[in-house]
Amino acid sequence: MSAYDDNNIFAKILRGEIPCTKVFEDDHTLAFEDIEPQARVHVLVIPKGSYVSMTDFVEQASDAEMAALNRAVLKVVEAKDLKERGYRVLSNVGEEGGQLVPHLHIHVFGGQPLGPMLG
Ligand code: AMP
């Protein structure tokens, strides 16, 4: 796995160098609207710590960070009123997983029927 790149776009968002439309924030996580939404609801949930991917996160993160990330997903689900309707949670990892930004992010999709899992 490559080393964490401090200049990736989500690191810049976390440092406040690039704006985002915030949905939720706590000590360990930030959730914001995806800039190119692929569903009516498309929010990204990221840890504030420097983790390249889900693999890196699960290997290195503290229990508190892991709990916070999962709870942040639920906060987004509640904020977007998806709990009863249903939604999709997805994290792309690495080249074959289609990960473009090398800072762990969890996509939360919803607000419409989402169709088959892989397009
Ligand atoms: P992935 O392919 O899983 O790495 O997805 C990266 C996601 O980041 C894409 O859905 C992009 O639309 C989104 N994205 C890229 N730049 C920004 C940004 N500045 N603000 C919000 N979302 C972004």
Provide the annotated active-site residues.
Answer: 105
Rounded mean pLDDT, 2-29: 97
Using one digit for the tens of pLDDT, what is the confidence trace for 10-21?
Answer: 999 999 999 999
- pTM summary value: 0.98
Task: Tell me what pLDDT residue 1 has.
Answer: 64
List all residues whose CB is within 6 A of at least one atom of ligand 1.
9, 18, 20, 34-36, 44, 92, 98-101
Task: Tell me what pLDDT residue 37 has.
Answer: 98
Which among 17, 21, 42, 101 is the best mutation to test ligand 1's pocket, defined by most ligand atoms within 8 Å of the CB?
Answer: 101
Helix (H, G, I), strand (E, B) or coil at 29: strand
**Total number of domains constituting the chain:** 1
Rounded mean pLDDT, 18-29: 98
Residue 118 lies in a domain: no
Which among 15, 17, 100 is the best mutation to test ligand 1's pocket, defined by most ligand atoms within 8 Å of the CB?
Answer: 100
How many CB atoms sit inside 10 A of residue 89's CB? Answer: 15
Rounded mean pLDDT, 40-65: 98
CATH no. for residue 41?
A: 3.30.428.10
Question: In terms of residue numbers, what domain contains 98?
Answer: 9-110
On the CB side of 40, CA atoms within 13 Å amount to 12
Using one digit for the tens of pLDDT, what is the confidence trace for 90-112?
Answer: 999 999 999 999 999 999 999 99
